[in-house]
Structure 1
Amino acid sequence: MEKLILIKDAMTSAVNNLYNNYPHIDKLNVFPVPDGDTGTNMNLTATNGYNDVKDIEFKTIGEFLNVFARGLIMGARGNSGVIFSQIVKGLAKGMNDATELSAAEWKKGFAESKIIAYRAVMKPVEGTILTVIREVAEQSDLLPDDMDIKEFWNKIISIANQTLENTPNLLQALKDVGVVDSGAYGLVKFLEGMNSVIQLNEIIAKTDKLEINEGGNIEMEIEAEFGYCTEGIVMLNQEWIDKLQTSAIKDQLQIYGNTSIVVVIDEDILKVHTHALSPGQVLMFLQQYGDFKTIKVDNMNLQADKQVKGTEGSSWQETTTIKLERRLNNEYATIAVVSSPEMKKYFEKELGIDIAIDGGSKMNPSTNDFLKAIEDVDAKTVYLMPNNGNVLLAAKQAEKEETKSKIIVIPTKTIQQGMTAALSFDPSATTVKNTKAITSAIKNVVSFQVSQAAKDSVVNQIKIKKDQQMAIVDGKIVGTANDIGILFEKQLSRFITNKTEIITIFIGQDASAKSVSQLRKFLDENFDVEYEIIEGGQKVYSFIIAVE
């Protein structure tokens, strides 16, 4: 019983320490826009696992770790969360029969963690969270099995920190901006939380004062970022249990041209994380192995705000249950996701969207937010416009869970595409014609954005200096300049042609009056084109510009 209390206390301390540090982990992002969410993903992943074990009494160490690991897998968020869940799964497998928390048992756990974590990733990259668990496993294996447990764990923390500090030497993207890997940092903080209990028998408490970090939701991976961040959990059909191999999933996703592939099979569940140009293709492929599990896809930004800071007015809710009886009084309705109250007003009042969901600066509303909006519009057919690649899965999950309205998800991945989709919607047309017309129209809009670099970096072979203005087109940095006027002249001009009919400009919170004047002057003096300027109120991006 004493050992069970110790392992449970150690994991409690580890989860709390990860929570205390997750805003800082978010900031350790190699992408120069201040918008990382590795810490958020790891924190929510760990919290989900902890919630499954905190109020339950267990008979063995292995039983506790297995339930904890299963909870992590089911709640894993993003690439970092999935890999993290596999590290804990390895601990559970390696220590399944442990009766003591000895150095020998921990060595078995770390060895399995390394194997299972590397197996989950299509293309393991060194200088990441994988390197930390590999070094911990390999170097701890050289230590005596009967080593004093406190001395052993001091050595583990030393190994982990030394490996963390070395990550920039293994990964040029980290070295370019002078940071350590965010996922690796998160794992070290998790291990340090455990060590507090092992050394001092003290559980690290959750802090009330967290580091503040605001930003959008573009996650820069080691591989080239593109398309949609797509995740799914499949409850395997009986015929596939113990027969399906992760290699079969990885190989097919690679054939599709996907990147950032992480595949996990745990007994009767299949969990996949990948970046895809065609997420529908991925989901259709996965569905042959079983049914997608009905899970709650939370708004990570709003949920974290509510859990961490107790933010008033948060739209995140605990339940997905639709309580009101609906009669579907309307033939059709439209729902779009936006990133500010000003945009919400514009989309609803000017573009005719029935409900615009304000997803905040991270543009990450939950499935619950979609379901609530679907309930409110009370229509037979509802068109959902995610307006961000990271929101697509939540929209698709809402489509799956909704049982009364017919849901059509339009694959808009930018605010600009969402605006074009709204303008292209024809209430008199059939759903087939509308879907075809809108999908075609959004291909003709250039999504141009301007943001200020938060750090020095090198992205897509473009050298970026802190505080430079960056031109971002369809999520990809295409150029930089010290002066925003020069950025307009050299970058925005590339996308304005004699076929351009109109330019719509959303002005963000950080846009100065001078920069707005520079943009007006640039357009007036160089192009015979109609343009509209709107107070967008968005964070992170000083200008969001649609060129049509």
Structure 2
Amino acid sequence: MTIQSLNSRIFYDTFVAATTYFERHIDAINDLNVFPVPDGDTGTNMYQTLSGMKNRVTYVDTYSVQHLSKLLSDAALWEGRGNSGIILSQIFKGIYLGLKDKDLTTINIVSSSLECAFNSAYASIANPTEGTILTVLRDIAEESGQQILTKRTFSDLLAALSIKAKESVDSTPNHLELLRDAGVVDSGAYGLEIFLRGIHLHLSGQDVKNVDIELRIPAKDGEGVQNLIKNHDSTEAIYGYCTQFVLKSSVGIEDIRELFVDLGLSLVVAGDSGIYRIHIHTETPGDSINVATTVGSISEVSLEDMERQSAAIMDAAMEEKRESKNQNTGETCAHSGFVAVATGSGIKQIFRENGALAIISGGDSMNPSVAEIAEVLDSIKCESIFLLPNNKNIVSTAKQAADLSKNSVVVIPTKSIAEGLECSAEFDPNSTAKLNEETLTEVMSNVRTLLIFKAERTAHIGDVDFQKGDYGAILDESPLPFKGTASEILSESLKFSGAYDCDQITILLGENVTEYERIDLERLLLDQFGDFYHDAIQIIEGKQPNYEFIVALLSS
């Protein structure tokens, strides 16, 4: 499309299209994330920022471009996620300032907006670093100043800036040794390149949902990224917590920045008019939160353990290599082994650590077929295989697959992940099939399963009503009547289930549980159980869908 002047409809549709195009690149951007910390979430944070902005701002045809850009700027401040997302929010603030009171019929507004965007983003960062999103933003701002002298349309200008962005991203390793060592370009810079390309593609009339894409990938299959994490793990240094929150305060932005500058690294302070979004990497997030409360009120608190995030990158790399090996050669064991059906990256990792020969993806609403299970079983060379279905709806399917398999397969009819994990912990690959079957059957009978979930619809189960959006609990298929937050219901359910009589309680955190919620849960359980919490309760990231918490209560 040829655009001679900018209007709010074009502005909004272009933003939505670029966000849609960005979504197709989330994983690729995450895979490049090593600076400032290899926590693999840059693409996710930038997309959540963009998507959150889109959800907050509904287009109205009476909006002017300037008013719409102000709404998006305000939304970006509230929705900014992570270091890159908050910098992105400042870019949108700069775009608003660059459009304010400007003539929308001239492409000069692109140059003024990018210049303001760079100044706004640069000012928000305590220690700006070359070779990052800032470098690319400055390069395209300078390029736009040159291009407006010769380009006549918005589409032509965005095409030139898209090319410049790619060149600038290519050069980021020249500025930052960490990127060179890891064999990647800067992930935030790549994210900006993708968003800008999405704008160009839309203005060129192309379908951003279906146009061919070519992804940047780490050199040598990510070996440099993995080595970076391994080198870190060999030291005593820790990444700490990615700490973010919104602060409402009458204190000026420079004084706000001064409060936090010595409390951690990667400090970004965004916002104005008494509302600020704070981002900082720190080993002691409580210090930053406490300081903030001395000058105002906080909300939207988010804590993410970057050690766990970097470890997850290594786990994913190991899983990919393992699955590739299984697909190509089939797993081999000398005597006995087990296969588990599971979902959730953390849960799968526990099964792997307990010695699983293979893991079949499946669970609630995603049951594997008989053929899929049988194919995995037949790919394994082993005298005897134990199959843990870990879901009552998969038990019969597992038995059919076992009957069809060419291998000797014993199905232990585990009806939950809790039962399956406890059985896998007791499995002995050097023991006889008969003894393993007896042991696992006994273990299974000693496990109770507690599920804490958010109701997706209003339902009546037994004597308990579950309202849509509320949290609920089920203990061994029996609904419990407790109400409150997920953590409060878990606490009440543990008391009801006689937790003190258990030998071991394992709590698996779901994929939607934040680090802040985890810390709250730990405090709640410590207050409730005291020494028993340290002796018998462990909390592990299961990353499972559907359930906030899956709890295994093991008794002898």
Tell me the TM-score normalised to structure 2 length: 0.54
The answer to whether the 8 A contact 1:103-1:145 is kept is no
User: Is the radius of gyration larger for structure 1 or structure 2?
Assistant: 2
Percent same amino acid among aligned pairs? 25
Correspondent of 1:78 among 71, 74, 82: 82
Measure the CA separation in 2 of the matches of 1:219 and 1:56. 48
**3-state SS of paired residue (2:24):** helix
Measure the CA separation in 1 of the matches of 2:180 and 2:190. 15
In structure 2, relative to structure 1, the CA distance for the partners of 1:288 and 1:139 (3 Å cut) is: same
Instruction: Give the letter aligned to residue 244 of structure 1.
Output: G
Q: Do structure 1's residue 52 and structure 2's residue 49 form an aligned pair?
A: no
Shift of 1:121: 1.0
Q: Which residue of 1 aligns with 2:271?
A: 265
In structure 2, relative to structure 1, the CA distance for the partners of 1:427 and 1:377 (3 Å cut) is: closer
Instruction: Give the letter aligned to residue 185 of structure 2.
Output: V
Instruction: Give the letter aligned to residue 171 of structure 1.
Output: L
Q: Which residue of 1 aligns with 2:262?
A: 255
Q: Which residue of 2 aligns with 1:342?
A: 421
Q: Do structure 1's residue 36 and structure 2's residue 40 form an aligned pair?
A: yes
Q: Which residue of 1 aligns with 2:491?
A: 377
Correspondent of 2:523 among 404, 409, 413: 409
Measure the CA separation in 1 of the matches of 2:72 and 2:208. 19
Measure the CA separation in 2 of the matches of 1:44 and 1:372. 24
Shift of 1:191: 0.4
Measure the CA separation in 1 of the matches of 2:76 and 2:289. 22
**3-state SS of paired residue (1:293):** strand
Q: Which residue of 1 aligns with 2:281?
A: 275
Measure the CA separation in 1 of the matches of 2:184 and 2:131. 11
Shift of 1:217: 13
Q: Which residue of 2 aligns with 1:126?
A: 130
Shift of 1:75: 1.4
Measure the CA separation in 1 of the matches of 2:522 and 2:265. 26
The answer to whether the 8 A contact 1:110-1:133 is kept is yes
Q: Do structure 1's residue 64 and structure 2's residue 35 form an aligned pair?
A: no
Measure the CA separation in 2 of the matches of 1:349 and 1:234. 49
The answer to whether the 8 A contact 1:344-1:357 is kept is no
Shift of 1:250: 2.9
Instruction: Give the letter aligned to residue 271 of structure 1.
Output: R
Instruction: Give the letter aligned to residue 256 of structure 2.
Output: I
Q: Deviations over 1:483-506 (max 9, x none)?
A: xxxxxxxxxxxxxxxxxxxxx9x9
Q: Deviations over 1:203-256 (max 9, x none)?
A: 51279999999x999998xx98622111111233xxx0xx422x3233332323
Correspondent of 2:179 among 174, 177, 189: 174
> Structure 2 regions of 5+ residues with no counterpart?
313-342, 345-361, 367-416, 426-442, 454-469, 473-483, 500-504, 543-556
The answer to whether the 8 A contact 2:303-2:514 is kept is no
Shift of 1:124: 0.8
In structure 2, relative to structure 1, the CA distance for the partners of 1:341 and 1:171 (3 Å cut) is: farther
The answer to whether the 8 A contact 2:182-2:228 is kept is no
CA RMSD of aligned residues (A): 5.3
> Structure 1 regions of 5+ residues with no counterpart?
304-310, 316-337, 359-366, 400-406, 411-421, 442-503, 509-548
Alignment map for 1:215-294 (pairs within 5 Å): 226-236=239-249, 240=250, 243-245=251-253, 247-256=254-263, 258-293=264-299
The answer to whether the 8 A contact 2:241-2:304 is kept is no
Q: Which residue of 2 aligns with 1:323?
A: none
Shift of 1:378: 2.9
Alignment map for 1:107-146 (pairs within 5 Å): 107-144=111-148
Shift of 1:107: 0.8
Q: Which stretch has the larger CA shift, 286-295 or 18-27?
A: 286-295
Instruction: Give the letter aligned to residue 280 of structure 1.
Output: G
Measure the CA separation in 2 of the matches of 1:235 and 1:118. 22
Measure the CA separation in 2 of the matches of 1:196 and 1:4. 18
Measure the CA separation in 1 of the matches of 2:275 and 2:183. 39
Tell me the TM-score normalised to structure 1 length: 0.55
